[in-house]
Amino acid sequence: MPGMIAFGRRWGIASDDLVFSGSFELFVRVLWWIGTLALYTLHKGKFDCSGGRVLHSYLVVLLVLLAFIILSLCAIVYVSAQGTITNPGPRRSIPVLVYVRAMLYVPELIWAILGAIWVSDDSRGCDTLAVYIIWILLLSTGVGVLFVFDPLGSRLPGPPSQEQLGVRDLESSEGSQLLSTARSVAVRVWESRLRLLCCCLPQDESHRAAFSSIAQLVSGFFSDTDLVPSDIAVGLALLHQEQDKKEQCRDPDEVLPHSPSSPIVSTGAEDLEAELEKAAHCMQFAIAAYGWPMYVYSNPLTGACKLSGDCCKTQSAEYDIVGGDNMGCHFSSILHSTGLQYRDFIYVSFHNQIYEIPFFVALDHKREAVLVAIRGTLSLRDLLTDLSADCENLPVEGVSGTCYAHKGMSQAAGYIYKKLLNDGILNQAFTIAPEYKLVITGHSLGGGTASLLAILLRSSFPSLQCYAFSPPGGLMSKALAEYSKDFVVSVVLGKDLVPRLSYPNMEDLKRRILKMVSNCNKPKYRILLQGCWYELFGGDPDDFPTEMDRREEELSQPLLGEETLLIRGSSSYHSLASEDSPVHCAHLPLYLPGRILHITEDGPSRRCVRYRAEWSSETAFRSVLISPRMIADHMPDAVLRSLHSMTQDRPFNLCPSSLSNSHLNVI
């Protein structure tokens, strides 16, 4: 940190990132040198093959060339390991060493070309392994350069001589112009990356608009910092251990005495038990909406066999399937997952476009409900819907306060809303079962869309209920979140990342990463090694010295390079000075929907993992928790397993402390 300046541009690595890559190449080069020396010694004076004299000369020059390369790599590794992340002074000679190492590629490339010519013309009977190895290493180096190439690293126009420190005021016209230019270039680069990633999708107007919106969001996130990927990895490793230390020291979280917005007519434990039963039942439909991929994933030994007999069969006119399931495998998996019959399905859609996600409508006779299940993220189009995170107005009759929501999910909810009402799907369902109530469910993207759909349908169906599993944290405004507490239940497992994802939370995470990195006085390679050990094998969090021996006001200096555009007015610049510095974010705050049912591990037992559930508030999800479980806890099968564990295996999952405190609404 910052990105290394070499060959007139900034690269995606810092001067202290060459320890591991350099050590690996050094190891390979030393082995190669030893092997070449052994080959030369074995055949010394006995190069009897055709072209043996050429091979003799080739090996001698190669040994000398490898010796110089090994020496340069030793110097690079040693110097790169010096200093700390924010003290690059001891590594100021790294660019020179990189130039020396790059110059050695020239004779190596020439020698590789000559070796290739010799192999093709006059190498019969000779050992040519050394010639092939050099090409493998050169190609590997080329791939590595592509990985660390930063399209945004080209030099900006140089500052006037009186501004050699590189720090320019945001309010100056020159600084504003350079900032605008840099951001425009960043947006264009990210748009190109998205188009390349989604090259299989049609490049129509809706997709281009989504690419532009997402590019602006992503490019602006780290536009006021100069971080390389390894800096972020170091910050996450330190932050994870810091959070674990705080968790070990803090008192148990305070839990709510009763379900938010629910009148106290029963004990908290009874309320939780009822909601857990309903949630476990609805989660089966939410996971079924993913179709055959999730079914096979959840049943790796038997799933494919069970579906193989049903796929490719045509079930004529018994159900209405729209788009994307020509083989019938999706619908067959839904039948297996839910246990429903063909006649129970009113409408099934696997049509998938940006802002248009698959869903199905079925009659749930067990719970006497017309159930709408919406699929979560399973395609690139779904991912674009997820990342369209701008705010969009969502006016709702009877709701006081500003009403806005996540753009992508709001449009997806609007699409399903029109299908349900304009196409008469719900009217058909309630004609068959007029006494049933409406229940909407979904997981992840489906959970967020289900919550917004429930808000849109609330005025027409006052008794509807919605169960949103692992919905995104940046979903709806405070007014809509309060309004939805009467009919929406959000279920969150453990340290799931997605319910904590919102722009303010990500800004807070960036600020904390910057502070952890700026205050750490250990070399980067040591932090990464110890962090990997901690993630893989656990143990006590390392007590890294995180306070540097300098004044607090000196910590407010931006963590940017001498030749980088610095922004004094940026949020990251100001937030380094204090842990409590506010995050200045242009994005409106968004919240989780409804009441929040938080399920956490209560410690392992001899038979299985025990879980506890409690009503929580949105304040518990205002920061991102770094953990190996942050992705695993989001998986739908993990959520379903925890709910089944608490409802079906309750004797093993009720701990004495929970029983004795049932009035606190904890199971």
pLDDT in tens, 492-505: 999 999 999 888 88
Confidence band for 405, pLDDT divided at 50, 70 and 90? very high
Is residue 95 classed as helix, strand or coil in its secondary structure? helix
| Chain centre to alpha carbon of residue 110 | 43
* Residue 382 in this model has a pLDDT that exceeds 50: yes
Give first-to-last CA distance, the chain, whole Å: 46
- How confident is the model at residue 545, as a pLDDT? 45
**Out of 382, 496, 602, 633, which one is annotated catalytic?**
496
Confidence band for 579, pLDDT divided at 50, 70 and 90? very low
- How confident is the model at residue 628, as a pLDDT? 85
Q: How far apart are CA 22 and CA 16, in angstroms?
A: 11
List the Cα angle 627/632/634 in 5-degree steps. Answer: 105
* Residue 224 in this model has a pLDDT that exceeds 80: no
Residue range 211-223: average pLDDT? 72
Confidence band for 179, pLDDT divided at 50, 70 and 90? low
What tokens appear for 197 in the block? 């990633």
444: annotated active-site residue: yes
Confidence band for 659, pLDDT divided at 50, 70 and 90? very low
* Residue 117 in this model has a pLDDT that exceeds 60: yes
pTM: 0.79
Give me the amino acid identity at 179.
L
* Residue 624 in this model has a pLDDT that exceeds 50: yes
Domain segments of the chain as ranges: 5-152, 264-502+634-648
Is residue 288 classed as helix, strand or coil in its secondary structure? helix
> Are the C-beta atoms of 69 and 25 separated by less than 8 Å?
no
- The DSSP result for 290-357, as a single string, is T-HHHHHHHSTTTHHHHHHTTTT---TTSS-EESS-TTSHHHHHHHHHH---GGGEEEEE---BTTB-
- How confident is the model at residue 45, as a pLDDT? 56
Q: How far apart are CA 428 and CA 420, in angstroms?
A: 10
- How confident is the model at residue 197, as a pLDDT? 73
Give me the amino acid identity at 204.
D
Name the CA radius of gyration of the chain, rounded.
Answer: 30
* Residue 257 in this model has a pLDDT that exceeds 50: no
Q: How far apart are CA 125 and CA 462, in angstroms?
A: 87
Higher pLDDT, 68 or 159: 68
496: annotated active-site residue: yes
* Residue 586 in this model has a pLDDT that exceeds 80: no
- The DSSP result for 412-444, as a single string, is HHHHHHHHHHHTTHHHHHHHH-TTPEEEEEEET
* Superfamily, domain 264-502+634-648: Alpha/Beta hydrolase fold, catalytic domain (3.40.50.1820)
Q: How far apart are CA 191 and CA 400, in angstroms?
A: 38
Strand pairing report for 566-567 and 609-616: unpaired
363: exposed, middle or buried (Cβ count in 10 Å: 0-12, 13-18, 19+): buried
* DSSP structural state of residue 319: S
* Residue 302 in this model has a pLDDT that exceeds 60: yes
pLDDT digits (tens, 9 = 90+) for 436-495: 999 999 999 999 999 999 999 999 999 999 999 999 998 999 999 999 999 999 999 999
- How confident is the model at residue 241, as a pLDDT? 86
% of the chain with per-residue pLDDT over 70: 71
List the Cα angle 400/401/403 in 5-degree steps. Answer: 105
Q: How far apart are CA 230 and CA 11, in angstroms?
A: 12
Confidence band for 619, pLDDT divided at 50, 70 and 90? confident
For residue 438, the cross-strand partners are 370
> Are the C-beta atoms of 401 and 388 separated by less than 8 Å?
no
Confidence band for 153, pLDDT divided at 50, 70 and 90? low
- How confident is the model at residue 618, as a pLDDT? 87
- How confident is the model at residue 309, as a pLDDT? 65
- How confident is the model at residue 186, as a pLDDT? 72
What phi, psi does 86 have (nearest 5°)?
-95, 10
Is residue 494 classed as helix, strand or coil in its secondary structure? coil
> Are the C-beta atoms of 590 and 475 separated by less than 8 Å?
yes
Residue range 507-529: average pLDDT? 86
548: exposed, middle or buried (Cβ count in 10 Å: 0-12, 13-18, 19+): middle
Q: How many helices (H) and strands (E) does the chain have?
A: 23, 15
Give the other-Cβ count within 10 Å of 436's Cβ. Answer: 17
Q: Which residues are CB-neighbours of 51 under 8 A, at least 6 positions away? A: 118, 121, 122, 123, 124, 126
Where b means 16+ CB within 10 Å and e means fewer, 609-632 reads: ebbbbbbbebebbeebbbbeebee
For residue 532, the cross-strand partners are none
Q: Which residues are CB-neighbours of 302 under 8 A, at least 6 positions away? A: none
Q: Say if residue 462 is preceded by a cis peptide, omega within 30 of 0.
A: no
Q: How far apart are CA 595 and CA 611, in angstroms?
A: 19
pLDDT digits (tens, 9 = 90+) for 413-429: 999 999 999 989 999 99
Residue range 108-116: average pLDDT? 78
* Residue 264 in this model has a pLDDT that exceeds 50: no
* Residue 58 in this model has a pLDDT that exceeds 50: yes
User: Among 47-61, 166-180, 282-296, where is mean pLDDT lowest?
Assistant: 166-180
Q: How far apart are CA 466 and CA 445, in angstroms?
A: 14
- How confident is the model at residue 202, as a pLDDT? 73
* Residue 258 in this model has a pLDDT that exceeds 50: no
pLDDT digits (tens, 9 = 90+) for 29-54: 898 889 888 877 876 655 556 556 66
* Residue 238 in this model has a pLDDT that exceeds 50: yes
Residue range 83-104: average pLDDT? 89
**Out of 444, 470, 616, 642, which one is annotated catalytic?**
444
pLDDT digits (tens, 9 = 90+) for 565-574: 334 445 554 4
Looking from the CA of 18 toward its CB, the CA atoms found within 13 Å total 25
User: Among 64-73, 160-169, 619-628, where is mean pLDDT lowest?
Assistant: 160-169
